[in-house]
Structure 1
Amino acid sequence: MPPPSNVSGGGAERCIVNDQMTPFTIFYILILIVSLPGNLLSVWAFVRSSRAKQQSISVYLVNLLVADLLLLLALPFKILKDLGAAPWNLMVFHCQASAVTIYISLYASIAFLALIITDRYLQDCHTVRSLRLQEVGFARLLSLVVWLLLLLIMVPNMALPIQQVKVQRYLSCSSLKKDISLHWHALTVFLCTALFLNASAAVLVSSGLALKRLLGSRSDPKLWVKARRVAGSVAAVALAYILCFVPYHVVRTPYTLAQTKVITDCQTKRQLFLGKESTLLLSVLHLCFDPLLFFYLYTPFRRTVRRMLPCCRNQTDDDVEEQVADEMMQQDTSEEQQAVISKP
């Protein structure tokens, strides 16, 4: 079956790549329905647990939640556009604003998940450098740098001029872009891919070191319990990271070549578009995983949720064990900090 195409007024064929979006929109709607309650519960739990002593990981988790909320706000616009239920002005708005917001949220999530994995490893490695990297002030500064860098890269995609095109049922966002906008879009993709590669390197190094430390602590029961907790946390976040973001970046660069007219074959462009949409769907799936990570990684958040939910209020034994483990970890950290301070 030949790929669908329309003939423009000048006689040139226009390749339509986004005419099979209904299955994707169904999955996006399901993700939105499943993830919205968990993320709203996360907002409430973080607000309720705000009096707890802040840690560097809590800073990264809050920023990850902000990225998730941005994605939840932008996702309905994509759903309406892909369903063909949006008016023309709303479709153009999605291409210029909400689509860019989706990618800001996506790469913010990548950066903060990498920082969370690194922070979890550093909790088990009390050195002078790791203690300084785990300071709350440093975590806030690093989070601010991440957001500013992403806004600097992404916002020009909203501001650069677009060209007027005739109203059509299947609008491709790249068709709205002028040459300068397409060039900046390609540069944005490669810069964000570089950010992903650096984040992936941090994930691989932290995961490998956490596993190495776990294997090296088998002879010491106390160190083994602590290293096992950290390695389990690192493995859980790394698994979500790999599942959600690696497939998308395998097809992102080839698809960008199709957007910038380096690849012109219509059938190839359609296949790359479907591959991009399929893997983007996996990336958006982290909206469902992140509330579980909040619950698993941050003890004050977990206690707050258990107090809020009637079915979990009787789990006092787990709370006591978590509190003891946290106090032991904080005590070890305090001793290490005192040792660092006492050095001339």
Structure 2
Amino acid sequence: MPMDFPTSSVGISNGSSDDNATTLTRNCSRDSVVNTVLFPVLYTVLFIVGLSMNGLAVWVFFQIPSKSNFIIYLKNIVIADVLMTLTFPFKILADSKLGPDYLKVIVCRVTSVVFYFTMYISIIFFGLISIDRYQKTVNPFDKAKTLSLLWVKILSGSMWLLLFFMSLPNMILTSNKPSSPTFKCADLKTEFGLKWHAIVNYTCQVIFWSNLAVVTFCYILITKELYSSYARTKSSNTKGRKTVKINVFLVLAVFFICFVPFHFARVPYTMSQTTELFRCSLEIALFHLKESTLWLSSLNSLLDPLIYFFLCNSFRSSLFKLLNISIPHSSESRRTQKCNIENTPLEDSSM
């Protein structure tokens, strides 16, 4: 993935700019209370809460067999979320300047790449989940039109390998030595590394926007199909309709809150990192915009466990069991009966 998960300050570029540009870059410092204090504190909160919630999610998913496409997709997302959360301490220490100077190099070369790699893994699997939920809505009893578990596992592994090999050059091609104590990640890239950075960035834009279209389109059709089903059966179950609204809103909200702002900000920011066309003030403004929207993207690692809880009955049941929380049998029976009668596919209740 593109490595624009940067250190807190800008430094001298790789000697390719003229004297005026070099002077401008020297004076174009990104150090501020916002970058060195506020964002590290926000990421610290995300790390503590996110690691706890995702650790619990991993614990729960280990108790659930992979007997449906839905569960396999969710397990891939929780792995991606754990890996993303583990990159936060490196960014916290580097941006707050509490770690050694070389830590900034590690952030540029390794942990930022892992961060973006896991972000797009999550985006892809949410797209696959949307397709799976749509198929379960339109053809709830037709298993012939859904992928077998073996093919789902092969598809999942292929997605990880594809994004890994797309991300790997961003580690390898960031081999330049820091030319100053204050530098930006682009300074560490080779000439081809900068070009690869831009190419992968635009590829990631395609991945995001195509999956956003899939998620939005699928859930619009799911909602339409479910309400048509209510109308055909003349169901007066307002609670079921409310559940549909919550589940549809929850999935779309994660995409629009966490990912859309960042992907609007990412293209101009990447251009500011890979070209010399931007003045210092605009470069700093784009950096602040990117950092703010990047934090929203990081928030995805904390919101995903909520999606597991509300959309996956198996996850919810296993969580209650592991925490020794009892559910009134009559209430559970009524809820399960409603799921069976109304065949609401937004919530997985097949296991």
The answer to whether the superposition gives a TM-score over 0.5 is yes
Residue 236 of structure 1 and its aligned partner are, at CA, apart by 1.6
Query: Which residue of structure 2 aligns with residue 87 of structure 1?
Result: 100
Query: Is 2:318 the counterpart of 1:304?
Result: yes
1:215 to 212, 221, 227: 227
- Opposite residue 253 of structure 1, the aligned amino acid is V
Provide Cα deviations, 1:312-331, integer angstroms capped at 9, x if missing partner.
3144344334544565689x
CA–CA separation in structure 1 for the residues paired with 2:215 and 2:114:
24
1:18 match: secondary structure: coil
Distance of aligned partners of 1:228 and 1:115 in 2 relative to their CA distance in 1, 3 Å threshold: farther
CA–CA separation in structure 1 for the residues paired with 2:98 and 2:112:
16
CA–CA separation in structure 1 for the residues paired with 2:215 and 2:291:
25
1:218 match: secondary structure: helix
2:62 match: secondary structure: helix
CA–CA separation in structure 1 for the residues paired with 2:300 and 2:100:
29
CA–CA separation in structure 1 for the residues paired with 2:206 and 2:52:
33
* Greater RCO (Cα-Cα under 8 Å, separation 6 or more): 2
Residue 152 of structure 1 and its aligned partner are, at CA, apart by 2.0
CA–CA separation in structure 2 for the residues paired with 1:292 and 1:30:
17
- Opposite residue 284 of structure 1, the aligned amino acid is S
Tell me if structure 2 keeps the 8 A contact 1:74–1:101.
yes
Query: Which residue of structure 1 aligns with residue 42 of structure 2?
Result: 27
Distance of aligned partners of 1:132 and 1:227 in 2 relative to their CA distance in 1, 3 Å threshold: farther
1:44 to 47, 52, 59: 59
Tell me if structure 2 keeps the 8 A contact 1:114–1:199.
yes
Query: Which residue of structure 1 aligns with residue 6 of structure 2?
Result: none
Tell me if structure 2 keeps the 8 A contact 1:49–1:301.
yes
Structure 2 residue runs of 5 or longer lacking an equivalent are 1-8, 346-351
CA–CA separation in structure 2 for the residues paired with 1:56 and 1:277:
35
Query: Which residue of structure 2 aligns with residue 152 of structure 1?
Result: 165
Worse-matched range after superposition: 10-19 or 232-241: 10-19
Query: Which residue of structure 1 aligns with residue 213 of structure 2?
Result: 201
2:280 to 266, 272, 282: 266
Residue 171 of structure 1 and its aligned partner are, at CA, apart by 3.1
- Opposite residue 114 of structure 1, the aligned amino acid is G
Provide Cα deviations, 1:271-303, integer angstroms capped at 9, x if missing partner.
001000000000000111111111111212111
Residue 233 of structure 1 and its aligned partner are, at CA, apart by 2.7
TM-score normalised by length of structure 1: 0.85
- Opposite residue 259 of structure 2, the aligned amino acid is F
CA–CA separation in structure 1 for the residues paired with 2:287 and 2:319:
40
Aligned length: 325
CA–CA separation in structure 2 for the residues paired with 1:260 and 1:280:
18
Tell me if structure 2 keeps the 8 A contact 1:214–1:224.
no
Stretches of 4+ moved more than 6 A in 1? 4-11, 127-130, 222-228
Worse-matched range after superposition: 145-154 or 122-131: 122-131
Distance of aligned partners of 1:6 and 1:248 in 2 relative to their CA distance in 1, 3 Å threshold: closer
- Opposite residue 173 of structure 1, the aligned amino acid is C
CA–CA separation in structure 2 for the residues paired with 1:255 and 1:60:
31
TM-score normalised by length of structure 2: 0.83
Residue 253 of structure 1 and its aligned partner are, at CA, apart by 0.3
Tell me if structure 2 keeps the 8 A contact 1:78–1:94.
yes
Provide Cα deviations, 1:260-281, integer angstroms capped at 9, x if missing partner.
1153201000000100000000
Cα RMSD between the aligned structures? Answer: 2.9
Query: Which residue of structure 1 aligns with residue 349 of structure 2?
Result: none
Distance of aligned partners of 1:329 and 1:215 in 2 relative to their CA distance in 1, 3 Å threshold: closer
1:220 match: secondary structure: helix
Worse-matched range after superposition: 80-89 or 250-259: 80-89
Tell me if structure 1 keeps the 8 A contact 2:54–2:305.
yes
Distance of aligned partners of 1:130 and 1:110 in 2 relative to their CA distance in 1, 3 Å threshold: farther
Query: Which residue of structure 1 aligns with residue 194 of structure 2?
Result: 182
CA–CA separation in structure 2 for the residues paired with 1:296 and 1:207:
15
Query: Which residue of structure 2 aligns with residue 56 of structure 1?
Result: 69
Query: Which residue of structure 2 aligns with residue 338 of structure 1?
Result: none
Tell me if structure 1 keeps the 8 A contact 2:12–2:183.
no
Residue 219 of structure 1 and its aligned partner are, at CA, apart by 2.2
Identical residues among aligned pairs (%): 31
Structure 1 residue runs of 5 or longer lacking an equivalent are 333-344
CA–CA separation in structure 1 for the residues paired with 2:141 and 2:317:
31
Distance of aligned partners of 1:241 and 1:5 in 2 relative to their CA distance in 1, 3 Å threshold: closer
Distance of aligned partners of 1:144 and 1:7 in 2 relative to their CA distance in 1, 3 Å threshold: closer
Query: Is 2:301 the counterpart of 1:287?
Result: yes
Tell me if structure 2 keeps the 8 A contact 1:108–1:147.
yes
CA–CA separation in structure 1 for the residues paired with 2:10 and 2:137:
57
Residue 118 of structure 1 and its aligned partner are, at CA, apart by 2.3
Provide Cα deviations, 1:211-266, integer angstroms capped at 9, x if missing partner.
22133223234888678755643332111111100000001000011001153201
Worse-matched range after superposition: 159-168 or 276-285: 159-168
Residue 306 of structure 1 and its aligned partner are, at CA, apart by 0.9
Tell me if structure 1 keeps the 8 A contact 2:12–2:180.
no
